[in-house]
């Protein structure tokens, strides 16, 4: 079994992770930040699954399944927090968090 397909999957996984990191560092909207985190987790899942398939083991697939469950719970809790922040501040810009500690807010 050749490793050329493994290189392709790892490359796509690294690109997904890299796009997620750049998006997380550049953007200031909280919804986009959560989407970038999900993109990074999907890149890691793709790489774990590819290596698991290459080595003939299910360990990477089990870990990827646990990461998917973790990402779903993170998205649910994060969305609830975003709704509460938006109700309080009327914006989802990360600069608004500096105002949360000010008296009178």
Q: What is the pLDDT of residues 33-83, one digit of tens each?
A: 999 999 999 999 999 999 999 999 999 999 999 999 999 998 999 899 889
- CATH node for 4-91: 1.10.287.3510
* pLDDT averaged over every residue in the chain: 90
State the distance between the two ends of the chain, measured CA to CA, in whole angstroms. Answer: 62
The answer to whether the CB of 43 falls within 8 A of the CB of 72 is no
Of the candidates 77, 99, 79, 78, which has an alpha carbon nearest to the alpha carbon of residue 88? 99
User: Of all helices (H) and strands (E), which one includes residue 59?
Assistant: helix 59-89
Which is more confident, 90 or 20?
20
**pLDDT value for 55:** 94
| Domain range summary for the chain, segments of one domain joined by + | 4-91
Residue 86 has pLDDT above 80, yes or no: yes
């Amino acid at each position: 079994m050749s490793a050329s397909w493994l290189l392709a999957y790892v490359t796509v996984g690294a690109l997904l992770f890299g796009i997620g990191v750049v998006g997380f560092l550049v953007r200031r909207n909280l919804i986009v930040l959560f989407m970038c985190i999900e993109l990074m987790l999907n890149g890691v899942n793709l790489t774990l699954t590819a290596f698991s398939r290459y080595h003939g083991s299910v360990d990477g697939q089990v870990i990827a399944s646990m990461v998917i469950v973790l990402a779903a719970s993170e998205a649910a809790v994060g969305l609830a927090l975003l709704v509460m922040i938006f109700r309080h501040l009327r914006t989802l810009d990360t600069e608004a968090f500096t105002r949360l500690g000010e008296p009178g807010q």
